[in-house]
């Protein structure tokens, strides 16, 4: 029997990661023999841990918080265009003795929005939050056909800085982009879809947004996920959003793109989303 290919997810902490189950399910679809482990690296040891994994014959690494920006630096000489735009890397592999990096988060979000039939092509989108999560998905959303994107942040200047930085290297996108603070929400185009790219749901916090934001029949998508609806999802539901989803499908979608980069095969997402969702529900009981 051939030696299985070796993969891992690296982060700190990483015990909660669903990546091993997801990639095992993907591999089963194609009969690929692999191992996939969780690699918990101390904050000052990411580079040594990642390089050591590859030196010992590892094939690919998924990178999660807090190391995505440092993974970007590690693969600096061999970044994909998506990774260069995002300023962060969540997928690493070695080719020709060099570490390569890509960011698949935006592809994962677009894949899930299409799976859910949420507004995208020709739609007006609003992204809440101006951190790395927002930056990582901006390009793929525009490439997928979004007609207009507004980025709002609790601190408006951060949103302005994000858009200004994007326009510096993508000047043709300028007419499609606006930024501001949460207090500017009523002065921006009415969205077809509101995407929460903040970490508010991790703390169970709602955002200071008017209920009227969803009264126009806008959809709501939270990049976070859990066994129960997130605080953002509950907020949108109470305000009358017509369709609401969490980010579990995005998680599986970005993993699917990582799998494609490593294996050259694109796995089916739907059955794996259902599998992980069932595991989450069982864990709650």
pLDDT tens-digit readout, 56-111: 999 999 999 899 999 999 999 999 999 999 999 999 999 999 999 999 999 999 99
Residue 213's pLDDT band, with cuts at 50, 70 and 90, is confident
Which of 84, 77, 49, 76 is closest to 63 using CA atoms?
A: 49
Tokens of 122: 């020709």
* Pair 111, 126 in one domain: yes
| Residue 173 belongs to some domain of the structure | yes
- Kindly report, residue by residue over 214-272, the tens digit of the pLDDT: 877 899 999 999 999 999 999 999 999 989 999 999 999 999 999 999 999 999 999 99
Residue 1's pLDDT band, with cuts at 50, 70 and 90, is low
| Residue 283 belongs to some domain of the structure | no
Residue 282's pLDDT band, with cuts at 50, 70 and 90, is confident
Mean pLDDT of 1-27: 93
Q: Are 111 and 269 in contact (CB under 8 A)?
A: yes
* Pair 243, 118 in one domain: yes
Q: Are 256 and 112 in contact (CB under 8 A)?
A: no
**Which domain does 44 fall in, by range?**
5-103
| Residue 261 belongs to some domain of the structure | no
What burial class does residue 19 get, using C-beta atoms within 10 Å of its C-beta: 0-12 exposed, 13-18 middle, 19+ buried? buried
| Residue 257 belongs to some domain of the structure | no
Q: Are 136 and 106 in contact (CB under 8 A)?
A: yes
* Pair 123, 209 in one domain: yes
| Residue 262 belongs to some domain of the structure | no
* Pair 111, 229 in one domain: yes
pLDDT of residue 285: 46
| Residue 280 belongs to some domain of the structure | no
- Does the annotation mark 68 as catalytic? yes
- Kindly report, residue by residue over 156-207, the tens digit of the pLDDT: 999 999 999 999 999 999 999 999 999 999 889 999 999 999 988 888 888 9
pLDDT of residue 284: 54
* Pair 56, 162 in one domain: no
* Pair 80, 212 in one domain: no
Q: Are 214 and 239 in contact (CB under 8 A)?
A: yes
Hey, which residues does 94 pair with through a beta bridge? 99
* Pair 153, 218 in one domain: yes
Q: Domain end: 87, 103, 119, which one?
A: 103
| Residue 50 belongs to some domain of the structure | yes
Q: Are 136 and 88 in contact (CB under 8 A)?
A: yes
Q: Are 179 and 163 in contact (CB under 8 A)?
A: yes
Element (H, E) at 74: helix 68-74
Q: Domain end: 38, 73, 103, which one?
A: 103
Q: CATH number of the domain at 49, please.
A: 3.40.50.10860
- Across the chain, mean pLDDT equals 94
Q: CB atoms < 10 A from the CB of 84, how many? A: 16
Q: Domain end: 60, 79, 103, which one?
A: 103
pLDDT of residue 283: 66
Q: CATH number of the domain at 158, please.
A: 3.40.50.720
Tokens of 37: 């482990």
Q: How many structural domains does the chain have?
A: 2
pTM of the entire predicted model: 0.94
* Pair 124, 190 in one domain: yes
Element (H, E) at 23: helix 19-30
The yes-or-no verdict on residue 279 having pLDDT over 80 is yes
Distance between CA atoms of residues 14 and 216, nearest Å: 39
* Pair 117, 236 in one domain: yes
């Amino acid at each position: 029997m051939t030696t299985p290919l070796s993969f891992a997810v690296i982060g700190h902490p990483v015990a909660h990661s669903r990546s091993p189950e997801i990639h095992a399910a993907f591999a089963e679809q194609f009969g690929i023999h692999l191992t996939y482990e969780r690699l918990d690296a101390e904050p000052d040891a990411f580079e040594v841990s990642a390089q050591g994994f590859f030196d010992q014959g590892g094939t690919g690494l998924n990178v999660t918080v807090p190391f995505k920006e440092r993974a970007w630096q590690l693969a600096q000489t061999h970044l994909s265009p998506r990774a260069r735009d995002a300023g962060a890397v969540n997928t690493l592999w070695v080719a020709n003795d060099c570490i390569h990096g890509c960011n698949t988060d935006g592809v994962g979000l677009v894949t899930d929005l299409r799976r859910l039939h949420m507004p995208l092509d020709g739609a007006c989108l609003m992204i809440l939050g101006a951190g790395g999560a927002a930056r990582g998905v901006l390009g793929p959303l525009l490439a997928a056909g979004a007609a207009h994107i507004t980025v709002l942040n609790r601190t408006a200047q951060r949103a302005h800085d994000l858009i200004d930085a994007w326009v510096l290297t993508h000047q043709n996108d300028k007419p499609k982009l606006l930024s501001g603070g949460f207090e500017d929400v009523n002065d921006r185009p009415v969205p077809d879809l509101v995407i929460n790219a903040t970490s508010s749901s991790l703390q169970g916090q709602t955002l200071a947004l008017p209920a009227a934001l969803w009264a126009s029949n806008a959809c709501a998508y939270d990049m976070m996920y859990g066994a129960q609806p997130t605080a953002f999802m509950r907020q949108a539901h109470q305000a009358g959003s017509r369709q609401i989803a969490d980010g579990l499908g995005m998680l599986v979608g970005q993993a699917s793109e990582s799998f494609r980069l490593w294996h050259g095969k694109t796995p089916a997402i739907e059955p794996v989303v259902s599998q992980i969702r069932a595991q989450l529900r069982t864990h709650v009981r």
